Amino acid sequence: TPLRREVEEMLRFDARAEDFIETPVFGVAAALIGARAEGAAAPGPGAAASGPQPRPRSQGSHSSASIDGSRFVPGDVLAGRYRIAGLLGRGGMGEVYRADDLKLKQQVALKFLPEALSADGAALARFYQEVSVARQISHRHVCRVYDIGEAEGSHFISMEYVRGEELSSLLKRIGRLPEDKAVETARQLCAGLSAVHEAGVLHRDLKPANVMLDERGDVRITDFGIAALADEARGGELAGTPAYMSPEQLAGKSLTPRSDLYSLGLVLYEIFTGKRAFEAASLAELLRLRQSDTQPSSPSSHVKDLDPLVERVIFRCLERDPERRPSTALQVAASLPGGDPLAAALAAGETPSPEMVAAAPKEGGLRPAVAASLLAGALASLALIILLSGRILVIHQMPLGKPPEVLAERARAVVRAAGQTEAPADTAYGFDYDLEHYRHVTERDKSMTRWEGMRAGQPASMQFWYRQSPQPLEPSAGAEVTSTDPERQLYTGMADVRLDTEGRLIELQVVPPELEEPAGAGGEVAAPDWSRLFAEAGLDPSKFTPAEPRWTPHSFADRRAAWEGVFPLQPETPLRVEASSYRGRAVAFKLVTPWSKPYRMQPYLTEPGLQRLLMFLFALFVTMLLVAAWLARRNFRMGRGDRRGASKLALFVFAANLAGGLVGASHVPTFLGEIAVLYSALKSSLFFAALLWLLYIALEPYVRRRSPHRLISWTRLLAGDWRDPLVGRDVMVGVLLGIWMNLFGWFAEITARWVGIPPDLRGIQPDTLLGVGGIAPFFLGMQPAVALLHGLGFTFLLFLLSRLLRGERRAAFGAWALFVTAMTLGGSHPYVLLFSGTLAACYIFVASRFGLLAIAVAQFVFFMVEFYPWTTDPSAWYAGVTLFAASVITALAVYGFRVSLAGRSLLRGGLLED
């Protein structure tokens, strides 16, 4: 009959399984039936009626009749808690019963170790291992394990009871699943296997017989009898089902999660085709087939019109080289037709893992026309920055024709003119702004030409400082020597000089001898020739009148003098010269302007508002750290933080800060001095690395929970997927936004003059004028760290506002309102607010649409434009810095452009076709 033929076919199929683990139950059943026929044995108490014993089933199968040889019968109560309802199945690693939990009033499955193996220590250890491994996994597509117990000398596992059917049984009955159901089943199987791997577990025996379909048709992965922790799967043990083993598993090599992906590929092959990938008549033939390079037949040869994506993902899983397989089960799910595990996780109310975020469906890259437009926009905007820099940057409003090396030589000449002819042991120099002069001009002069006086270079808004010492200059507060660190009065002969950008003297300080020498004959020492220092300052002493000295020098002096006059090039600006000497040598010479302040007499924080502001900022920072520490600890204990991503981020920031700090440090030829430099660099690097690690662990899980789309490209970049089209797209968008963040401000400053608003000038980071030593600490240290802090903070702000205001659009509007309010309170002109509000809208759009990576790149590029000197003059001594900044931005844009194309070429008609 047809039914008999179907049963015989099922038996023949089962005979070919050759499972290493499962007991040959059909052979045992046949022997028992034969024994009964000969009268050699009789049924034991409670035995089921005679007849062929059915094939063992996992804990979710139904069996209304008891099976011969069962250890317990329906009604038995074990451990005072579990009432047996019937035997579900029997395998090589145990028997499975359905039972009622009398305490919790729910059905469970109890898995017992076979009696023959109860005294086997190795089998018992494996039994306990199954519990310890399986309890680490909690997922809707993995059968849950509750606990382990003992009854009548037998150990058992209590686990979730699943009503349903084994996938293997279903495939035997119907052949293969319909393609839409097969895709759904495959995706659920990938989700469950991903949860297993995230717990650090390898299943090692994934096959249709260990996959259940519950009463709703959902997948449940079962049987962790030979599963192992990934760190402990070192190979050497041949366990599992040969028909579903990976090549490295058959060879006894070390296993990885990709070994399970090979088994997954074999299961998917059966799901979509109803056929096994490898067919053999015997175990020996199967092993020979599996150990050869023979490839399985194409799934499309069995099923016509099979989606090519399905065939591609199956063959990727079945690569013999593990490195060529997908890296995670989520990548397999994402590669399936219509696969979106991220959306599935959110719909299920789950927090997607970082790997799931990274494996979200790829958007296939940008169309060539769109990518080319973004690249052209970025390069055109960068060219506009260079062209407009002459009208907006402060360095172009003053003479800046002498490079720092020339100014340093001028400073040494000034020191020699003061009578200090000894060669120094160490020197340092740099640029500073005279902020008091800038404030003086902006507060006193509201005209449209208020910066015209800067073109003469005197008085100077930017100053060059130079320091020399007979001993190595060792900073006390950092790794770099500054104009005030170390202290000015450390060693006899130390000299501090300030020049304007044309090399004219502004201030001179020299430390006199600590031990006073006896005065010469007569006891009087002639006054120094002050005319030499007047000449170094570009002043005519005949046009200055003597005055009563008022400013005391930093060092001891035996003579003081003062003169009053005006700036030669600005006669309307009064000027006072204060000078001091010791034993005929100048120890102080200073130009005192109307805006000069006696800093040694200034009380600390004279403005109550400033005191309150600083106290508020300090309290806010401490509160932020405490909240971040609490959130990080909570996320860390609950296993919700992306520890791997946070560690990579912290390591990058630490290495970049350390490299920048060491390159830009003021090194000294002493062991203790170099130790101090290294300590300072390490301290700064560890601070930023620890701060970013803490904030990332504290904030990232919440954004990933509610707004994972903002982390997709960022997570892929952290995972090392540098060539992902989404990464390229967001980098290019970030570059364009970063440039326009500056252009909006520049346009506001330039066009404000058209409506009568006095112009302001944009400053640069003075250290970037010093070449590699000045750029490195900023480019490698502060710039990426602060950009990442900005990006992470703003991404979390959007998330927080979306929760408070209950909606993404409301959150975007709330962020925009906060930005405009802050600009208004800061005193911005209403005309400037138009540009600021538009820029804020663009910034918020990019943050909402493209996420963390685009914002971080935008902040990085913003700093490159904002703090680096830009010029259109290739002969300028700082043109190399302009070229460096422009090259970095261009390289980022070109990288994003190439990667976002996803391998498509512009030269093969792609651009024209778009």
The catalytic site residues sit at 205
Distance separating alpha carbons of residues 422 and 109, to the nearest angstrom: 92
| Alpha helices for 104-244 (secondary structure H) | 121-134, 167-174, 179-198
Is the distance from CB of 733 to CB of 374 less than 8 angstroms?
yes
Is the distance from CB of 652 to CB of 685 less than 8 angstroms?
no
| Alpha helices for 418-526 (secondary structure H) | 435-444
By DSSP bridging, strand 94-101 and strand 82-91 are antiparallel
For the record, the structure tokens of 294 come out as 């023979």
Tokens 């997927």 belong to residue: 721
For the record, the structure tokens of 21 come out as 């683990």
414 strand-pairing partners: none
Q: What are phi and psi of 147, to 5 degrees?
A: -160, 180
567 strand-pairing partners: 570
* 766 upstream amide cis, omega within 30 of 0: no
Is the distance from CB of 229 to CB of 192 less than 8 angstroms?
no
Cβ atoms within 10 Å, residue 21: 16
Which residues, 6 or more positions from 396, have their beta carbon under 8 angstroms from its beta carbon?
389, 390, 871
Distance separating alpha carbons of residues 611 and 59, to the nearest angstrom: 70
Q: Which of 230, 224, 233, 227 is nearest to 252 (CA)?
A: 233
Distance separating alpha carbons of residues 492 and 469, to the nearest angstrom: 8
Distance separating alpha carbons of residues 444 and 433, to the nearest angstrom: 18
Query: Which of left, alpha, beta for 76 (phi over 0: left; psi -120 to 50: alpha)?
Result: beta
Q: What are phi and psi of 475, to 5 degrees?
A: -65, 150
Handedness of CA 56, 59, 61, 63 (dihedral sign): positive
DSSP for 274-298 reads: SS-SS--SSHHHHHHHHHS-PPPPP
- DSSP letter assigned to residue 876: S
Tokens 């000295």 belong to residue: 549
Distance separating alpha carbons of residues 669 and 888, to the nearest angstrom: 34
Is the distance from CB of 219 to CB of 187 less than 8 angstroms?
no
Rg of the Cα atoms in the chain:
39
Burial of 573 (0-12, 13-18, 19+ CB in 10 A): middle
3-state secondary structure of 399: coil
- DSSP letter assigned to residue 850: T
How many angstroms separate the most distant Cα atoms in the chain?
142
The alpha carbon of residue 622 and the mean position of all alpha carbons in its chain are separated, in whole angstroms, by 24
DSSP for 363-376 reads: -----HHHHHHHHH
Taking CA atoms, 32 is separated from 25, 54, 268, in Å, by: 10, 13, 37
By DSSP bridging, strand 106-112 and strand 559-567 are unpaired
Residue type, 520: G
Q: Over 498-528, what HEC string results?
A: EEECCCCEEEEEECCCCCCCCCCCCCCCCCC
Cβ atoms within 10 Å, residue 646: 23
Residue type, 321: D
The alpha carbon of residue 651 and the mean position of all alpha carbons in its chain are separated, in whole angstroms, by 10
